Structure 1
């Protein structure tokens, strides 16, 4: 029996296992949305759990190496059968977290839900490579790792593209269970193919003597090279899911590119890997320069550039890691250290950074870490062209770094929030210097840091010393005064989240999406007419507390907010006074609004306002049939539900139009065009949908619907637009692809 005919079996086993492993990640993330919401930190916490389980699986595979293949196979298949008790995949029923406990509760929930299954499947990739190499005629097993990551990449990409849009969660879970059964059979077949082989570690004295055990220094090098791309993948994910949408489609992009980098680096495509290594320092300079930018950096083009940088840098670093790989007898140790590096990067980006930093400083730090570890092939060997002695070349490099420092200072002096004019010229000068010093690591890292400082980084660092910025599990919040405009603004990430006029005569006036001509402004102004002087109003999403000043004496208001930090900001009169001026006694319920509303007495509210968007991220779990059912239960029979759907990337009217149709409700939308005059920058356009089970109540609110072309008129409400064949969103099935506005993806970000 030759080794060659069995290669297909090991490749297939690894492909299937890795495909399943990375299908379950977005699937479980989708399952937990109703419990956890869509904060970027939820996905990062989930990724940390996955990396920890992957490390445990690799450690288990390494431990199995002390036994013969027969013993390994018996232990491994027994664990496969035991883990099957957790099938089909579902979410464990454990108590909801208290406020501020999400960072620990999310990992606990995921471990209880999929821990054993994920653990045993994660071990099969290194274990199959070990079994493959147990036959000395099999050849180099490392190329199988490329197959493993190709399967992982296919699993990730196929989920948002094929699985999520076409299958409900229950069908996804049973389909995954069938794949698990197939994997057990393939593992058993692979074991049979090597039943008489021995573990690589004990394959004879000659094999053991082939290469000594790698030194601790070499293992530390592996660890760091693996840690940086892992952390960079999570910090890139944080940006994408904060400013675009919290959904698997964008969760999986950074992870998918991260996995694809392994496919290239661990394959036989050495020329392609060399190309990535060659361009990586330049890409890191050009895109990494934006890593400290905290304003005006939220366009999709910047996000795509960040993804490109992640892919190039990860491929270059993983290619370097492959270059440093040991002989096959140390294969599982190598993968164990790699996995530990992945966990280390995940711990830093997902757990430590949010606790230590008030901004996403992990991203620029990891970018600099990549600069410290990347192979740095000289792009422009000017010192050799000029035949300069090494000492003279170092002096020239030192002078170039000094010039870069001067240019960075000039950029900081002229920075006005964007790269234009003289600032752009000085930035280009630093970039050129960076290209000239690529061959000197210390200078390259210093120039990259100076470029970051010049491109808005100094403002970012300064804000950390003012006390006006705070970070929580759910995001980064910055309060900034604009004296020339007479405004104080609250930003969530790079998106305006609240604004108050600082003039005492006008500080109670509603601003941004909540002006008097907005849908919510019109409805709350009429609350007394609609429901009497004691109207009960529920507000989901506090923000700066802007809506509070629509409250009239006698009305009973209850506010729901998931983030305790946001409550502290809104209640602090030194920051915003909407709450203290107008609704200081209104109770604030802290926690996920969907879960907390389910605990409210039925029929409590006359008006319920849902304004829980985080930047442009869709709170998908708040727009499903089950979520609307919870709101309906909390409303009085003739109550009005108001939902804020302003969004740059998704047209959500069909979602609510279909929900209203299915329930037999009446629905309308107020498309507020924004300020009537130029120069008024404290009001912004907004889209608010009103739904009610009582047509008469809708007529009272709207005064009758207008034609669509009249939507910009004062107080005009129009009918929602529906989409033929649009499928109702449920907790079990919801796809955002049908409502994605592709043309908006390349548009410039609104400030």
Structure 2
């Protein structure tokens, strides 16, 4: 029998317009789907304190909505008529448009900080769930339609190529958000722009249907359904789900590392997600830019190094995170290339995407929802880095001497630093000698000692079980060292992992308890009675925070509010005549700081009771009495991440509203990675509020935990409020800045990162002028009123 379909295809001129139209439509829908994710998350972020977990939880929602969209695309394939499918899809696109313009509705009220996940998922579903799910179904639907209308053409046999166009659109949209959209457009403009893009896409689908229908090969009949291929086995389905789950989990793990120590911001969220999408582009190409054998080799090398360093906090943040990103990219690429190699025939295209989407939800839900409940530390990230080694080639035959030797050598190498740490912990003399000759500490030494084990892993990379076993040994050893030397207690919540470390310091009278979140110290307290109530680190009496408390208290009985409770160190300033209130979003922090086992600033050092108001500070401060505070200290950080909504012009205006006429607001602006000082100064100047700036540099004359370098500004509703600050030479006036102030509608963290990396002459002048030449002597934290 002659295949008339092929004959017709060969007899007709090449149809280049139809593939282009499909590619453009898929590209556009993917762009809208992925540009909305950082946009919507940025809209909801201020309601949950700027926590990095907001992005991870939002990603689970988006992955679930994507799964719903793919399920709909798979179900609608039961309708045999493409005309009917197009009609159904257009009807749903129109119905979802009723949720526009894009916004976060307030139907559920303010979030409960004790149970934020349910509120966040429900709010996202009610706000953007419908348009997102319907849009996300477009890519698999259009690919399925393409396979049918192009059944007589060679390109119709591989509609999966269009998936590369889809992910390319997603990739470019994500990159454009922090580089172009966020710096150039307000949130209001972004919301309306996206809503307009959604309507334009609906018109594009109508045009596509009309053009394709008029240009199909056989104009007399409906395109026939594709021939059915054999069903996939449950084992095959399970493998597809797991191969999709691992990169999804690792993407959120890497994102948490980024956003915790820099900022919870779109320009950091999109880096791992963009790399994740780029791996799809490469994996589903006809001729991948990076062949699978090269992917496997590179993944083995960087994967082994990554599990080695993941337990430790490196002083070189840029180098460490570059390793994390490269390891994530090649691990995700390996999994997605293995997925692409297992793709079924075109008639099962929507089922394949449904399984792949299910894997994304499984991986994301494990990392964002399940892991925080079952783990007290971020164990899920190194765990998945290790287990993904099982996706590598397993090899054939029995293990020879080379593999067994590598396994034994790696075990010996991994065990050595563990035994060394146990011995040092049990012997004070050798421990003192060790730190004399190895000032970098046991963590850095352990990383060096574990390098031969990583080399062993690379040598056995073609044996998945042996490779994974060595990675497991490296991870166990590194986590043991980090656990023994970094912290004594750990607890985890939606807002992060808080650790309490015990740091012996003879100059502070013995043990010192330190509260840590990521790489940032949130308070330290000496445990001996002599130094127990001395405020330390950023809260030392010599720092700008300490200075402001003492200066305001010298005026008389004071009403003090502190945003960010930490270890409760500010409670050491509380006198019997004062009132002090902490504003804290994380109930876990309040519980830790009030537990005498760890810290006693609140329970013992403060003179009189101290209140804590739980919830996001912008929401809870709005309920406070106007004109009632003498001093407000804004010191809310998650590790080094900046809750930007607390530094906008509207936020600062709200703080000033709560002050008495001569009251003072102090903004703590110390940050290693971002310039947040210039936008804060610009916001204060836009409100015509008097503002002073100071950079305090710690000295070597005090114990390490006694003080910390601090940058801050103070402002007041009136000049009288800063009169005594102006008489103090440590506080300096600043010139008007050209930096654009942050507002609730505009925040540019990418610009802050750039200014931090490449300081402007204006910044250098302000910092030089604001740095005191000589720090003052320590003073009594409880001066007489």
TM-score (norm 1): 0.91
Contact between 2:262 and 2:674, CA under 8 Å: does it hold in 1? no
Matched, 1:290 2:328: no
Is 1:151 the counterpart of 2:151 in the alignment?
no
Structure 1 288/628 Cα, relative in aligned 2: closer, same or farther at 3 Å?
A: same
Q: Where does structure 2 lack aligned partners over 5 or more consecutive residues?
A: 1-11, 422-439, 760-785
- Change in 2 beyond 3 A, CA 1:179/1:375: farther
CA-based RMSD of the aligned residues comes to 2.3
How many Å apart are 1:355 and its aligned residue?
0.8
Instruction: Report deviation, 1:438.
Output: 1.4
Alignment counterpart, residue 734 of structure 2, candidates 714, 720, 729: 720
Name 1:589's counterpart in structure 2.
613
Equivalence for 1:539: 562
Q: 1:523 aligns with which of 548, 553, 560?
A: 548
Post-superposition shift, 1:578?
0.6
Say yes or no: does 1:320 pair with 2:338: yes
Kept after mapping to 1: 8 A contact 2:674/2:756: no
Instruction: Report the alpha carbon displacement of residue 178 of structure 1 after superposing the two structures with TM.
Output: 1.7
Which consecutive residues of structure 1, in runs of 5 or more, have no partner in the other structure? 379-388, 707-715, 747-751
Identify the residue that residue 364 of structure 2 maps to in structure 1: 346
Paired positions, count? 712
| Distance in 1 separating the partners of 2:19 and 2:365 | 36
1:219 maps to 237
State the alpha-carbon separation in 1 of the partners of residues 287 and 90 from structure 2. Answer: 34
User: Where do 1:5-154 residues align within 5 Å?
Assistant: 5-67=17-79, 68-93=81-106, 94-135=108-149, 136=151, 137=153, 138-154=156-172
Task: Give deviations 1:269-296, integer Å, cap 9, x for gaps.
Answer: 33513222332122211222223x1544
Judge conservation of contact 1:230–1:346 (CA < 8 Å) in 2: yes
2:300 to 251, 256, 281: 281
Report the equivalent of 1:432: 455
Residue in 2 aligned with 1:250? 268
Q: CA deviation at 1:15?
A: 0.6
Aligned partner of 2:514 among 473, 489, 508: 489
- Provide the rounded CA distance (Å) in 2 between the counterparts of 1:349 and 1:371: 18
Corresponding residue SS for 2:71: helix
Residues 205-257 of structure 1 show CA distances to partners (whole Å, capped at 9, x for unaligned) of: 8x434x30111110110000000000000011111110111111001111111
Q: 2:753 aligns with which of 731, 740, 747?
A: 740
Give the one of 395, 407, 415 matched to 1:401.
407
| Aligned-partner Cα distance in 2 for 1:741–1:72 | 48
- Contact kept? 2:667, 2:714, Cα under 8 Å: yes
Pair 1:729 & 2:750 matched? no
Q: Distance in 1 between matches of 2:232 and 2:653?
A: 60
SS of 2:583's equivalent in the other structure is strand
CA distance 1:586–1:681, change in 2 (3 Å) = closer
1:292-336 deviation per Cα after TM superposition (whole angstroms, max 9, x unaligned): x15447823212211111111111110110001000000000000
Q: Distance in 2 between matches of 1:12 and 1:34?
A: 35
Shift of 1:440: 1.6
1:299 is matched with 317
Q: CA deviation at 1:742?
A: 5.7
Query: 593-602 or 681-690, which moves further after superposition?
Result: 681-690
> Counterpart of 2:769?
none
- Counterpart mapping for 1:557-576 below 5 A: 557-576=580-599
Moved more, 640-649 or 276-285: 276-285
Of residues 698, 703, 723, the one that matches 1:699 is: 723
Q: Which residue number in structure 2 is paired with residue 510 of structure 1?
A: 535
- Describe the shift of the 1:294–1:665 C-alpha distance in structure 2 as closer, same or farther (beyond 3 A): same
How many angstroms apart in 1 are the aligned matches of 2:527 and 2:77? 68
On the 8 A contact 1:649/1:741 being kept in 2, the answer is no
Provide closer, same or farther for how the CA distance between residues 311 and 644 of structure 1 changes in structure 2, counting only shifts above 3 A: same
Relative to structure 1, the CA distance from residue 420 to residue 27 in structure 2 (aligned partners, 3 Å threshold; closer, same or farther) is: closer
Change (3 A) 1:428 1:99: closer
* Aligned residue number for residue 477 of structure 1: 498
Q: Quick one: structure 1 residues 315 and 680, their matched pair in 2 at CA, closer, same or farther if it must change by over 3 Å?
A: closer
The alpha-carbon distance between structure 1 residues 21 and 721, as it changes in their structure 2 partners (threshold 3 A), is farther
Q: Distance in 2 between matches of 1:131 and 1:255?
A: 28
The worse-fitting range, judged by mean Cα deviation, of 733-742 and 513-522 is: 733-742
Alignment of 1:647-726 (within 5 A): 647-675=671-699, 677=701, 680-704=704-728, 706=729, 716-720=730-734, 722-724=736-738, 726=739
- 1:413 is aligned to 419
Displacement of 1:366 in angstroms is 1.0
Deviation (angstroms), 1:194: 4.4
**Distance change in 2, residues 1:191/1:374 (3 Å):** farther
The equivalent of 1:310 in structure 2 is: 328
Question: After superposition, what is the alpha-carbon deviation per residue over 1:513-571, rounded to whole angstroms, capped at 9, x for unaligned?
Answer: 111111110111122333x22x1111110000111111122101111110000011100
